Amino acid sequence: MYCHNCGEQIAEGGTFCHKCGSQKFDASAGQSVSEAPIQPQAGAQATTAEIKYAGFWIRFVASMIDGLILSVAIFSLVLIPIVGWILIPFVSFIYFAFMTDKYQDTLGKRLFGLMVVSENFEKLTFKKVLMREVVGKIVSSVTFNIGYLIAAFTKRKQALHDFIGDSVVIYRKK
């Protein structure tokens, strides 16, 4: 199968293009599926390249950028009496879960061309996103952040929350 958007080959059983993130059309839903490569959009390359995993330091910098974004949001909520104060503990989880589910990245990851996918390079299900972004990150944090640090030492650069959510962070193809 080939991506309807950029022409990249979609892995057998894959549900989205790991190059541009487009979901594969579903023939059972009356959508067309291409069995042969299509002409890619302007500027897109239709060659298959090796997957590159995002390492610890690039993910660390991306998370610092996300932290700055969240700081502004949280500061804004502090200014709203009662309702804002109630929402503050949930802002981080909502941000990470929403962005990862909808866009497969966060603004920090997007800046560096990173995306979160399943271990099979498919789009994560919402359940897996919640396992990764809520349960996994809580566990990574209560281990004195060692859960984050292990990304520097694993073959596929996975942190503890990636293992819990069956996910990897990779570079988007250009």
Q: pLDDT (tens digit, 9 = 90+) per residue, 143-167?
A: 999 999 999 999 999 999 999 999 9
Q: Tokens 């059309």 map to which residue?
A: 25
Pull the structure tokens for residue 37.
């490569």
pLDDT in the model for residue 81: 86
CA nearest 8: which of 36, 44, 41, 46?
46
SS3 97: helix
Determine the pLDDT at residue 145. Answer: 94
pTM metric for this prediction: 0.72
Query: DSSP assignment, residue 16?
Result: B
* Mean pLDDT, residues 22-26: 63
Q: What's the one-letter identity of residue 170?
A: I
Distant-in-sequence, close-in-space partners of 122: CB < 8 Å, separation ≥ 6:
13, 14, 15, 16
The span from the CA of 112 to the CA of 128, in Å, is 23
